[in-house]
């Protein structure tokens, strides 16, 4: 195993139809991280777009990736990249939308349940049931009224949320960097 290699997987759905939806916040955060580094994705043979980089001089090697398939099938490309780059599950960071956290807030954690998130379920399944990976949980809040969850996550952000979204994406990208450079506990103390 390449001891200092990390895989950052941003969850979302492909295509312009889903690009600016709540479910694609993981893609948005990875796009921000790549923009900061001046990097661009390349296609892989495992159904993902990925790029390798270092966060800073002497920092850890990081593979940034987004699946080219749908959210519910995120596990196969994530596992393919982990196998190809010899990434241990403890060095996997998944950036995803989180219904149980208010919009604009984020939480960092290792392991735990998938909370009904199909992208996380797929990853856990392809890791043989191993849940011991890191999650950057970007809050999108609960759907209003009687709206179905599936409809809500596949909708665009409200007008008020769109105004706050760039700052939220920026803070979430900062949290990913903190997680890699300072570790989970230190990052949690600064983010929570």
Binding site residue list for tRNA:
18, 70, 72, 118
- Residue 150's φ and ψ, nearest 5 degrees, are -60, -40
Element (H, E) at 139: strand 134-139
Q: How far apart are CA 93 and CA 163, in angstroms?
A: 27
Question: Which residues are known to be catalytic?
Answer: 23
Instruction: Tell me the residue length of the chain.
Output: 192
Summarize the annotated binding site as residue ranges: 18, 70, 72, 118
Name which of 60, 37, 40 is nearest 49 in CA terms: 40
Whether the CB-CB separation of 37 and 20 falls below 8 Å is answered with: no
Q: How many CB atoms lie within 10 A of CB 18?
A: 18
């Amino acid at each position: 195993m390449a001891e200092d290699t990390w895989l950052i997987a941003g969850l979302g759905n492909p295509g312009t139809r889903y690009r600016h939806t709540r479910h694609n916040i993981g893609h948005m955060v990875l796009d921000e991280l790549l923009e900061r580094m001046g990097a661009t994705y390349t296609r892989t043979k495992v159904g993902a777009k990925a790029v390798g980089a270092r966060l800073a001089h002497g920092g850890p090697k990081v593979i940034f990736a987004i699946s080219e398939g749908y959210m519910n099938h995120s596990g196969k490309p994530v596992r393919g990249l982990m196998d190809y780059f010899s990434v241990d599950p403890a060095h996997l960071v998944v950036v995803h939308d989180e219904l149980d956290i208010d919009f604009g807030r984020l939480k960092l954690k290792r392991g735990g349940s998938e909370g009904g998130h199909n992208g996380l379920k797929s990853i856990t399944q392809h890791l043989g049931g191993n849940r011991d990976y890191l999650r950057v949980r970007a809050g999108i809040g609960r759907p209003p009224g009687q709206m179905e969850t599936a409809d809500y996550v596949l909708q665009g952000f409200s007008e008020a949320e769109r105004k706050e979204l760039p700052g939220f994406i920026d803070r979430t990208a900062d949290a990913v960097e903190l997680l890699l450079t300072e570790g989970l506990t230190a990052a949690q103390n600064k983010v929570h």
